[in-house]
Structure 1
C-alpha cells in the first residue's frame, strides 16, 4: 500500500497495483505520469482520476458511454497508438468540468477521452479529431 495526499479526500492509502501510468501524461499536465482512480459511492456515476504525485491535480471523470449510448471510439486506432493487443481489457473515461458554484453547467470532454488498459495499468489521453464529439458536451442540456 502507498499513502498519497489528495485535496478532496485528504491522506488515503492506495494499492500500488492500482496505479495507472500515463507515459504521455494528461494534456497540459505532461509531467505527471502516475494516477489512481478513486471510486466513492457518494460520487457515482463520477470517479476521481487523481495524480499520485500532486495532491492538487485530480480530474472528475465519467464513463462516456453513460453520457452518449452510441459513443464510438476507433479501437483499432487506440490499439495501434498505444501498442496494445486486441484482447486487452480497455476502458474509457471522459473528463468532466464542473464550474465553481454552477454544477448545473457541468460539461464532459468527449473529444479527449482517456483510454485505460486495465491489465497493463497504462493509459493515454486520446484526441478524437474529426469525430464530431465536442470538447464541452453539456451533461444537463436544455
Structure 2
C-alpha cells in the first residue's frame, strides 16, 4: 500500500494530476486524494481516479456528452465552496462506470451511475461526488453508437 506522501512525491506522478476530494467519495470517505489518468482511444476518452492511499481503489469516469447526455445541476452553497469554482464552466462533470458480471452467462456489461456524477474543478484540483435523488439528465440520440 502506498502512503499519500509516496504517491505525491513520486517522480512519475505530476502534482497537477492529483485531485483532492475534501469529504471523500461516498463509501470511501477516508480516501481523499486521487491521481487522475486519461486515455483517448478511437475518439472516446476515459478517465481513472486512483486513490493515492490505496491504488487498489479506482474509479472509471466518462464524460456524459460522449454518450449523448448532459446534466442540469444545481450546486449547494457548501458544494460550490468546496469546489472553489468561479463559474460553472470551470467544472468537469463525469459519470462513474461500473462493470457487472453475469455469473450464469459469463457476460459482462458496463453501467453508468447517472445519480452520482463526479464534479471536478481542474484548476483548483478539487472534486466532489454529488448524489442526486432525481437526476435531470437530457438525452440526445447520437449516430454511430
TM-score tier, shorter chain, comes to: 0.7 to 0.9
Residue 113 of structure 2, aligned match among 88, 99, 109: 109
Contact 1:97–1:106 (CA under 8 A) maintained in structure 2: yes
Q: Does 1:20 pair with 2:24?
A: no
- List alignment gaps of at least 5 residues for structure 1: 5-10, 134-142
Cα distance in 1 between the residues matched to 2:45 and 2:36 = 13
Task: Please name the residue that 1:81 is paired with.
Answer: 79
CA RMSD between the two structures:
2.7
Q: Does 1:97 pair with 2:98?
A: yes
- List alignment gaps of at least 5 residues for structure 2: 138-145
- When normalised by structure 1's length, the TM-score is 0.72
Alignment of 1:36-47 (within 5 A): 36-41=35-40, 44-47=44-47
Cα distance in 2 between the residues matched to 1:39 and 1:85 = 22
Q: Tell me the CA shift for residue 12 of structure 1.
A: 8.2
Report the number of matched residues.
123
Higher relative contact order (CA 8 A, sep 6+): 2
Q: Tell me the CA shift for residue 102 of structure 1.
A: 3.5
Larger radius of gyration: 2
Contact 2:85–2:91 (CA under 8 A) maintained in structure 1: no
Q: Tell me the CA shift for residue 27 of structure 1.
A: 1.2
Compared with structure 1, are the counterparts of its residues 24 and 35 closer, same or farther at alpha carbon in structure 2 (3 Å cutoff)?
A: same
Residues 108-128 of structure 1, C-alpha deviations (whole Å, 9 max, x = no match): 001100100111110000012
Q: Tell me the CA shift for residue 78 of structure 1.
A: 5.4
